[in-house]
Amino acid sequence: MIRRGRRARSAEAPTRKVDYHNLRNPFPPMNAFTEDRIEALHQASLTVLEDIGIKVLLPEARKLFAQGGARVEDEMVFIGRDMVEAAIASAPKSILMKAAAPERDLTLELGRLVFQPGAGAPHATDLVRGRRPGTIRDFREMVQITQAFDVLHMVPPLVEAQDVPVELRHYAMTEAELTLSDKVPFLYSRGTPQVRDGFQMIRDFRGLSDAEFQAQPWCYTIINTNSPRVIDMPMAQGLIDFARAGQMSIVTPFTLMGAMAPVTVAGAMTLSHAEALAAITLTQLTKPGAPVCYGTFTSNVDMKSGAPAFGTPEHFTASLVAGQLARRLGLPWRCAGGSAANINDAQAANETQFALWGCLMAGATVVIHSAGWLEGGLTVSFEKIITDLEVLQMVAELCAGTPASDADIALDALREVQPSGHFFGATHTMERYQTQFYEPLVGDWSNFGTWTERGEVDANHRAIGIWQEIVENGTAPAHDPDRIAGLSEFIARRTQEGGAAPES
């Protein structure tokens, strides 16, 4: 569908059509620091890599760093400024991500805007079934919801399918992503055997040769460094495997100020930037020109309890600094929303939207956790996906721009309607009213009396019907039945072989 409005329209009524897929960020970028302080921060990050070093647990990765000229002492790697600058130069500035159909392809470059719902949560929650450990059913349903809204552009690892054994989980998740969606799919980096399985499933399901698959990125992974200053085994392996196969890594140090990063925005971003540059360097040492996305996820903690916080002023400012650094590099980059609230209340809505505006004004290319994320990422809420989607759709409307022709200025209508009159029946209005305004997804604009008569249903409870309809009646995209059968056969065979356990 193009977009979803709350009400069904009659067959005759013209439909409002707005392109929610190809978004360009219309918001002027905001700087938190002066350009010379950004340069100082960048240089400090290079000093971290060159003098203080980063611990790299995977021998193969240390070997690649050493071959590239880094000094390696035991597990510590010291990466020279020249190596980092060479990697920044060879990393692509524009990346075409391939989906099942060209209209779902995504160009990632500075100035573009891509949304992902909340991801990586161990729990799922909704108002019908309650909060529970995530299951493959939850994952499949959330893929359906992601598929149903044009303003969500990539499929992320929404919730963990904890009811599927770890050595088989990647089959179930990838099958769901491929069959229930035609958008760009995600693969976890949990060791080469799982990654190889994933590449094979996507290659065959898309009907590609090895060469065709490797020529362009058809999927992506997310790489979290282990802050401070560690790249662990599966993350390093993922960077290498994805770069080698021409697939995309999104690098995201998770640097909470005061916990795994310095208590200041400037210090936390120095660490985040250093770690991101180390990971980017590893991709370019593996294969110059390999697609890689710069990223950050920097917020603060409650200094009394250590609890992480999101959608705070510090989170917002860190996003702005990351945007300035990304523009310094010229690379597409990922930023993150989020909320620490435990339910989808006013706090949850406010934190998520506040964090979103930080990402938007930072000029983020990809905004992850932009819908549904609760409890600092421990839960994705079905209803919150829907209520947050309202905001994303409204942002997409702003991306479309607003006409300002003489006909829009409407001097004729202003002449036509008398003082104290109204414009409901004006010719200018009649010609436009059916398609002029954004129609809300879950927002209810009825007056208090009507709303009371209808049972005083809040946004959260109105959202239930919206996700249920998608889950129950949603149709999967039309995929080639032979490829679906092939995918099933592959999974059956690999399952019989014992699958592939995650590596750590």
Cα pseudo-dihedral 131, 133, 136, 141, rounded to 10? 20
By CB under 8 A, name the one of 72, 263, 464, 476 that touches a second copy.
263
Cβ closest to a second copy, residue 182 vs residue 390: 390
What is the CB-side half-sphere exposure of residue 158 using CA atoms within 13 A? 34
* Contact pattern for a second copy over residues 220 through 249, marking x by CB under 8 A: ------x-xxx-------------------
**Nearest alpha-carbon partner for 134 in 119, 117, 152:** 119
Pick from 5, 22, 37, 464 the residue near a second copy by CB under 8 A. Answer: 37
Q: 39-42 contacts: CB < 8 A, separation 24 or more? A: 39/328, 41/266, 41/269, 41/270, 41/273, 41/321, 41/325, 42/273, 42/325, 42/328
| 59 touches a second copy (CB under 8 A) | no
Closer by beta carbon to a second copy, 33 or else 139: 33
Decide: is 41 part of the binding site for a second copy (CB under 8 A).
yes
Longest dimension (CA), the chain: 83
74 binds a second copy, rule: CB under 8 A? no
User: Least distance from C-beta 344 to a second copy, angstroms?
Assistant: 6
DSSP 293: E
**Rounded CA gap, 186 and 194, in Å?**
12
Q: Is 504 in the site for a second copy (CB under 8 A)?
A: no
Say if residues 253 and 271 touch (Cβ distance below 8 Å): yes
Asked if residue 357 binds a second copy (CB under 8 A), the reply is yes
Q: Quick check: 150 binds a second copy (CB under 8 A)?
A: no
Footprint on residues 309-338 left by a second copy (CB under 8 A): 309, 312-314, 316-317
The residues in 369-408 that bind a second copy, with binding defined as CB under 8 A, are 375, 378-379, 384, 387-388, 390-391, 394, 397-398, 401-406, 408
Stretch touching a second copy by CB under 8 A, among 50-58, 95-103, 159-167, 189-197: 50-58
Question: Which CB sits closer to a second copy, 95 or 276?
Answer: 276
Query: Which span sits near a second copy by CB under 8 A: 89-97, 214-222, 279-287, 348-356?
Result: 348-356
As given in the structure block, the two tokens for residue 382 are 């079905």
Q: Tell which positions 452-491 bind a second copy, by CB under 8 A.
A: 452, 456, 458-460
Pairing of strands 297-300, 366-368: unpaired
Nearest-10 crossing angle of helices 136-148, 382-400: 20
Instruction: Answer whether 340's CB lies under 8 Å from 376's CB.
Output: yes
Separation of alpha carbons 375 and 69, rounded Å: 43
One residue of 154, 260, 280, 326 binding a second copy per CB under 8 A: 260
412-451: contacts with a second copy (CB under 8 A): 413-415, 417-424, 426, 428-429, 432-434, 436-438, 440, 442-448, 451
**Closest CB to a second copy among 97 and 362?**
362
Size of the site for a second copy (CB under 8 A): 123
Minimum Å gap between C-beta 455 and a second copy is 11
204 neighbors 490 (Cβ within 8 angstroms) = yes
Spatial contact of 279 and 285, defined as CB atoms under 8 Å apart = no
Q: How far, in Å, CA of 385 to CA of 278, rounded?
A: 33
